[in-house]
């Protein structure tokens, strides 16, 4: 019984404290006297954030070296000769990639796309190989965990792919 009384008393004190923090007529005050809160401040635009990120990458790119790439999981590596386009099951991947250019902004090359049709299911699906697909790694950004410059986007034949 003593515990119930103690709990009830603690709940009553907490309720009183919360009530004291919120004036009962706070919305009755004239607009000029109200305190401006975060809900009254305009949020920054996406353009400002994008510009800041791009500028940071450009400024840091020379000191961070050539961007690396993480294939699904693992450590950052130089642009790979193969990479998965479907990290969950690897039923879509690139093999035999030959990089023709690599700089601070992107890596360009060609490779073979290997895709499982998964028809009627992935175990029975047909493997389709498409030669000479264009591969681009782009949009480098500084990884907060490794502090390395990493490519964030994979494009195959001009289409962005989300591994």
Q: What's the confidence (pLDDT) of residue 31?
A: 52
Cα separation, 136 vs 134, whole angstroms: 7
Phi/psi for 36 (5° steps) reads -75, 130
Cα separation, 7 vs 26, whole angstroms: 30
Structure tokens at 146: 């490794």
Structure tokens at 36: 């401006």
Residue that the structure tokens 């990884």 belong to: 143
pTM equals 0.61
Residues 21 and 79 in one domain: no
Cα separation, 137 vs 67, whole angstroms: 9
Q: What's the confidence (pLDDT) of residue 96?
A: 98
Q: Give, for all 163 residues of the chain, the pLDDT tens digit.
A: 555 545 455 555 555 444 444 444 445 555 555 444 333 334 334 333 333 344 444 444 556 789 999 999 888 899 999 999 999 999 999 999 999 999 999 999 999 999 999 999 999 999 999 999 999 999 999 988 888 999 999 999 999 998 8
Q: Structural domain of residue 7, as residue ranges?
A: 2-40
Q: Strands 107-116, 149-156: parallel, antiparallel or unpaired by DSSP?
A: unpaired
Residue partners of 77: CB distance under 8 A and separation at least 6: 68, 69, 70, 71
Residues 34 and 94 in one domain: no
Residues 87 and 142 in one domain: yes
Residues 83 and 118 in one domain: yes
* Cβ 149 vs Cβ 155: under 8 Å: no
Q: How far is CA 104 from CA 18, 114, 153, in A?
A: 54, 28, 14
* Cβ 135 vs Cβ 108: under 8 Å: yes
Q: Is 55 inside any structural domain?
A: no
Q: Is 135 inside any structural domain?
A: yes
Q: Is 58 inside any structural domain?
A: no
Residues 81 and 143 in one domain: yes
Residues 25 and 91 in one domain: no
* Torsion sign over Cα 53, 56, 57, 58: positive
* The total number of structural domains that make up the chain: 2
Q: How far is CA 135 from CA 8, 17, 119, in A?
A: 66, 61, 26
HSE (CB half, 13 Å, CA atoms) of 107? Answer: 23
Residues 73 and 21 in one domain: no
Q: Is 28 inside any structural domain?
A: yes
């Amino acid at each position: 019984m003593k515990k119930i009384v103690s709990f009830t008393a603690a709940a009553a004190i907490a309720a009183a404290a919360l009530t004291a923090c919120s004036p009962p007529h706070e919305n009755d005050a004239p607009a000029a006297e109200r305190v401006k809160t975060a809900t009254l401040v305009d949020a920054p635009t996406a353009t400002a954030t994008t510009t800041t990120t791009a500028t940071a990458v450009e400024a840091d790119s020379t000191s961070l070296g050539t961007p690396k790439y993480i294939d699904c999981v693992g450590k950052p590596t130089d642009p790979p000769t193969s990479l998965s386009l479907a990290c969950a099951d690897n039923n879509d991947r690139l093999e035999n990639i030959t990089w023709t250019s690599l700089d601070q902004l992107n890596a360009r090359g060609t490779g073979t796309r290997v895709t499982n049709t998964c028809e009627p299911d992935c175990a029975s699906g047909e493997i389709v190989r498409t030669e000479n697909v264009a591969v681009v790694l782009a949009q480098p950004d500084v990884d907060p965990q490794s502090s390395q410059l990493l490519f964030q986007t994979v494009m195959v034949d001009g289409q962005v792919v989300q591994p």
